[in-house]
Amino acid sequence: MNKSNLTRTSSLILVGTLSLLTLGSVSAETAGYLDETDMVGVSFWIATAMMLASTVFFILERNNVAPKWKTSMTVAALVTGIAWYHYTYMREHWVATDESPLVMRYVDWLITVPLQVSEFYLILAAIGAASAVLFWKLFGASLVMLVAGFLSEADIDSIGDGADKALFAVGVLAWLYIIYELWAGEAKEKVGDASEGTQFAFKAMAGILTVGWAIYPLGWIMGQDGDNADALNILYNIADVVNKTAFGMMVWYAATMDTKASSSEE
């Protein structure tokens, strides 16, 4: 595809995304109005806007990076785009019920977390060092983390309080395993001789999975204190913006850096 075709394709994707906004199911007219003092509600609105803006940005910037980075940019846009779609529902749910949109939250994570994990695969693939085994390890561990987390948060009568904490611990262990794989596993050697852009991307993304992801278990713990849905949702919303928008920005920054470096070599 030449450049003008590419621009046309991304314009089409963009128009399609924006026209989704006009659908009743994703517009904010049904459930009532946001209360001015509802800070959790405000954080839902801010996160929704950030997700949409990031999606548009990643789709447009995809035109400016070298071909080997394009799939990574597409995946970054998918992650924020899918989250935007779910946030339009979650904010309505919050305003209408004052309760955590638990199921939609986990539906979103179940789709977007594996997509983010696949970014590591794509980045390694771009330097010819793709590892399917690493992908499956990260994918499997993130599923264990999310399923354990969901069961610990869902009000399932047969699961008591003690079991909730045990499930939480399982989730934390799965997350720690992911951190171990990224910093000390086989990925480390492979990235060693990659370009500066790739090394930066890998470290920044692994850093986000270490520090940014820590906000989620923190939100879970804060939420325990007297069933505090406010603290839980504010922290989860902040975490989603950090881990989806900032994560995508790292991919974009590395892609731009790498594209510039390789075009000045020629």
In the window 141-180, what residues touch ligand RET (CB under 6 A)?
A: 145-146, 148-149, 168, 171-172, 175
- Contacting residue, 182, 240, 241, 255, with ligand RET by CB under 6 A: 240
- Contacting residue, 10, 88, 100, 243, with ligand RET by CB under 6 A: 243
DSSP structure class, residue 99: S
Is 81 an interacting residue with respect to ligand RET (CB under 6 A)? no
- Give Cβ neighbours of residue 150 (< 8 Å, ≥ 6 apart): 102, 106
Residue closer to ligand RET (CB basis): 15 or 53: 53
| Residue span binding ligand RET (CB under 6 A) among the ranges 28-36, 65-73, 213-221, 258-266 | 213-221
Residue closer to ligand RET (CB basis): 46 or 257: 46
Residue closer to ligand RET (CB basis): 10 or 245: 245
Residue closer to ligand RET (CB basis): 129 or 239: 239
To ligand RET, the closest distance from the beta carbon of 257 in angstroms equals 24
Q: What's the rounded Cα separation, in Å, for the pair 187 and 226?
A: 41
Residue, CB closest to ligand RET: 149
Is 216 an interacting residue with respect to ligand RET (CB under 6 A)? yes
- Give Cβ neighbours of residue 30 (< 8 Å, ≥ 6 apart): 24, 92
- Contacting residue, 26, 125, 217, 224, with ligand RET by CB under 6 A: 217
C-alpha 123: how far from chain center: 16
Is 213 an interacting residue with respect to ligand RET (CB under 6 A)? yes
Is 58 an interacting residue with respect to ligand RET (CB under 6 A)? no
Residue closer to ligand RET (CB basis): 171 or 185: 171
Residue owning tokens 């009000």: 155
* Backbone phi and psi for residue 226, each to the nearest 5 degrees, phi listed first: 60, 35
DSSP annotation string for 35-94: -TT-HHHHHHHHHHHHHHHHHHHHHHHGGGS-HHHHHHHHHHHHHHHHHHHHHHHHHHHH
Q: What's the rounded Cα separation, in Å, for the pair 26 and 159?
A: 34
Is 112 an interacting residue with respect to ligand RET (CB under 6 A)? yes
Burial (0-12, 13-18, 19+ Cβ within 10 Å), 119? buried
Q: How many residues does the chain have?
A: 266
Is 85 an interacting residue with respect to ligand RET (CB under 6 A)? no
Contact residues: ligand RET, CB under 6 A: 109, 112-113, 116, 145-146, 148-149, 168, 171-172, 175, 213, 216-217, 220, 240, 243-244
